Chains A and B, each alone.
Chain A
Amino acid sequence: MTILKRHLAALAFGAILAAAGQANAAEPVKLGVINPIKTLVGKQNLEGAQLAAEMINQDGGILGGRKIELVTYDTNFSPPEGVAALQRLLTQDRVKVVAGEISSSVALAAIPVIEGEDAIFMAAVPKHPDVTKSGYDKIFRMNTTTAQDAQSFDTFLLETVKPAKVAILAENSDFGQVTINQMKKLFGDKLVYSDTFGMQQNDFAAMSTNARSSGADTICIVGSNMEQYGNILRSLSDLGFNGNRCLMPGVLNSQGVQIAGAAAEKAFSADIYVPSIDNAFNKRFVAAFEKKFGRKPEKIEVLGFESIWIAAKAMDKAGTADDTTKIAKVIHEGKWETPRGEVTFDKNGQASSGELIRLVVKSGEIVVNR
C-alpha cells in the first residue's frame, strides 16, 4: 500500500513537472517594437516586423516551439515619448530585445535606457552615425549610414552621371546637412545651388525655380519624406526642368513615385533593397508580404523585418531568450540570411550587405538601373 502511494505521488509529481515544462515551452517570447506608428514610414516598418514574427511562428517558433509575440508602442517621432515607451517595455513588459524606430533622435535618446537595463536594441532605420558609436555592444543598426551610401553613390555620380553643374535641395535635418557638406566636398565649384527646406514645408515652387535658374543640369534631392520629394519632383516638372533628377540613396520608394506621378520618370537613386532581388528568401518574403498587406514590400519594411527576424533567430541559436550577452555575441558573429541577401554586423553593430543597387523610375516603376 505504501509502495503504491509512493508510486502515485511520483507519478503526480512527474505530471506536474511535465505540465510546467509544457507551459514554459508554450510561453511566447516577447519582443518590443517602438515606432512612430501613426506615420506612414512607422507603419511600414511595423508591418515588416509583424511579418517576421508571423513567419517565425509559422515555421514553428524558436527555442523548441515558443512563439514570438510583439509588444508595440508609439514613439510619435518624439524622444521623450520614445524613452517612456522603452521604459514600459523594459520594466513592465519585461522584454529583453527592442526593435524598430525611424528617427535617429529617438534612437539616440533610447540608447542610455537600453544600456541601463542591459537590453538589446535592433535599430531599424535611424541613420545618424552616433547610433552605433555609443560603445555599448548590444546596439545593432539594420539601415546603412550616410557614409556607406556615399561610398557607393558618389562614384556613380562622378563617373557615370558626370554632371557639369549640380544643385541640391535638402531637408533641414542631420541627413540634409551632412549630405550638403559631403556634396560640397565632392563637387566643389560645380555645386552651383543648395538650399534646405523645413520638414513641414509643402510648396516647393520657389525653391525649384531657384534650382532651375542656377543652370544646374543635375538636381539632387535629399528628403526622407516622400510627400516632400514627390512634390519637389512635381514642381521641377511643372517648371519644365528636364535635366537629371537624383534622389540621395535610401529614400526612393513606390509611394513617392505614385505621389510624383509622371514627374518621377527617369529620376534615379540607389538602395539596399528592391522587391525584384532574385533569391529564394526574398521571393518567399515578397509573396507573404503581398498576401498579408496587399502590396509589395520596400526597404523600410525589410529593415523592420530584419530587426525582428535576426533577433529571434539569434535567440534560437544562442538557446536563450533572456541572456542578452549571449544573444548579442551570436548576432555579432553570425551571417544572417534576409530578403536583401547576407547581412553581417561589424564590431559597432552596423549591418552591411555589400554594394547598393542602382535604381531608376521607368513607366511608374522603380527598376534596377543597368
Chain B
Amino acid sequence: MLELLLQQAVNGLTQGMAYALVALGLTMIFGVLHIINFSHGELYMLGGLMAVVATTMLGLPYGLALVLAVVAVVAIAALVDLVAVRPVLPTKDGPSTVLLSTFAVSLLLHQSVLSTWGPNPSRVEGLAGSLSLGPIVITNHRLLVLVSGVVILLAIEYVLRRTLVGRRIRAVAQSEFAAQVVGIDVARIRTLTFLGAAAIAAIAGALIAPVSLFTPSMGQHAIITAFVVVVIGGMGNATGAVVCGLLLGLLEALASAFMPQDMGTAVIYALLLIFLLIRPQGLFAGRAR
C-alpha cells in the first residue's frame, strides 16, 4: 500500500506541476492587468504545436524546440495584445470587454489550427528514459516538468523581487495610478507582463505535449483546471498557483487509489465551490501582489 501511495504521490506531483505551469501565466496576467485572458489556453496549445513542428517536421532537438515555441508564441501574443487587449482595456468596462475579446481570439486560434493542422493528435518525443527509486518509477520527462516548474517559479520570484522591471510590475499591480504618478510606463509594463505570461504558456505547452500528446483541443481542457488552480490559489498569486496546482494533482492521484477517478475530479470541483463560498480571495490572498 505504501508503494502505491508513494507512486501516486509522484504521479500527482508531476500532474500538479502541469496544472501549475498553465495556471502561472493566467494568474500573472490577472495580478498585473486585472483581466482574465481567455486566450491563454490557446497560447499553451500553440506552444505544444510548435514543439511538434520543431521536433517532427524540422527535426530539431527538443531543447531547441522549447526555444522556438517561446519565440513563436510570444510573437503571436504580441499580436493578440495589439489587437485584442491594448485597444480594449482603456475603454469603459475594459476588463469585461477584454474577457470577450480574448475569448474571440481563443476561438479564432483554435479554429485556425483545426482547419490547417487538422484534429489529429501528435506525439512529441521529449526526454527519453526513466528513473527508478526502488518500486517507484518516474520518467525523465516528467522529472523535467517538475524541475522546470520550480525553476520558472524561482525565476519569477527573482525578477519580481530583485529587478527594476519586477519592482515596476509590482507597482502597477498595486496601483496603476500611483505607478503612473512616479513615471512608470504602465502600458509597457502591461505588455511585458502579457508577453511574459505567453512565454510561460509556450514553455508549459511544449513541456506537457510529450507527456499527454499534442491535440488542438489541449488548451480548452487545460484552461478549465487552470482557472480552478488560480481561484483556489488566490487570483494574481504566482506562488499560490504553483502550490495549489501541486496540491490539486496530489489530491487527484491519491484519491484515485480509494475512489473512482471520475469521483476524484468531482471532489476537485466541489472544492472550488467551497472555496468560492468560504474564501473567495483564495488560499494565498494575504500574500497577493
A residues lining the B interface (CB < 8 Å): 38-40, 43, 172, 195-198, 200-203, 205-207, 209-210, 213, 226-227, 230-231, 238-240, 255, 258-259, 261
Contacts and interface: CB of A to CB of B under 8 A. Distances in A.
B119 interface: yes
B119 A206 contact: no
B168 interface: no
B114 A203 contact: no
Interface string B115-128: 00011110100000
Contact of B256 (A200, A207, A240, A261): A207
Given A207-B256, A238-B130, A202 B218 contact: yes
A240 B119 CA distance: 31
Q: Is the interface of B mostly helix, strand, loop or mixed?
A: helix
B123 A261 contact: yes
Given A227-B215, A230-B213, A238-B139, A206 B261 contact: yes
A206 B15 contact: yes
A25 B91 CA distance: 62
Contact of A209 (B7, B118, B221): B7
A309 to B, nearest CB: 25
A201 B123 contact: no
A330 B48 CA distance: 51
Nearest to B121: A227
Contact of B261 (A201, A231, A255): A201
Contact of B212 (A38, A203, A207, A261): A203
A212 to B, nearest CB: 9
26 contacts: A40-B118, A40-B119, A195-B256, A196-B261, A201-B261, A202-B212, A203-B18, A205-B11, A205-B15, A206-B252, A206-B253, A206-B256, A206-B257, A207-B256, A209-B8, A210-B4, A210-B257, A213-B3, A230-B121, A230-B123, A239-B7, A239-B137, A240-B132, A255-B120, A259-B213, A261-B123
B146 to A, nearest CB: 13
A84 B120 CA distance: 26
A172 B265 CA distance: 13
Contacts of B260: 195-196
Given A202-B213, A227-B213, A231-B212, A238 B261 contact: no
A350 B58 CA distance: 47
Interface in B167-216: 211-213, 215
Nearest to B265: A198
Contacts of A240: 132, 137
Contacts of A259: 121, 123, 213
B102 interface: no
Q: Is the interface of A mostly helix, strand, loop or mixed?
A: helix
A205 B16 CA distance: 12
Contacts of B261: 195-198, 201, 206-207
A127 B4 CA distance: 36
Contacts of A207: 256, 261
Contacts of B139: 238
Most B Cβ at <10 Å: residue of A201, A230, A238: A238
Contacts of A231: 212-213
A205 B253 contact: yes
Contact of B15 (A195, A203, A226, A255): A203
B245 interface: no
Nearest to A41: B119
What 5 pairs between A and B have smallest CB-CB spacing?
Answer: A205-B11, A202-B212, A206-B253, A206-B256, A227-B121
Nearest to B1: A213
B221 A200 contact: yes
Contacts of B252: 206
B119 A38 contact: yes
Given A202-B213, A231-B212, A39 B119 contact: yes
A40 B120 contact: yes
A200 B262 CA distance: 11
Contacts of A40: 118-121
Contacts of B257: 206, 210
Contact of B262 (A38, A43, A197, A210): A197
Given A209-B11, A230-B123, 16 more contacts: A40-B119, A40-B120, A40-B121, A43-B118, A172-B262, A196-B261, A200-B221, A202-B218, A206-B252, A209-B4, A210-B4, A227-B213, A238-B137, A239-B7, A239-B137, A258-B123
Most A Cβ at <10 Å: residue of B8, B14, B252: B8
Contacts of B14: 205
Interface in B94-132: 114, 118-121, 123, 130, 132
Contacts of B282: none
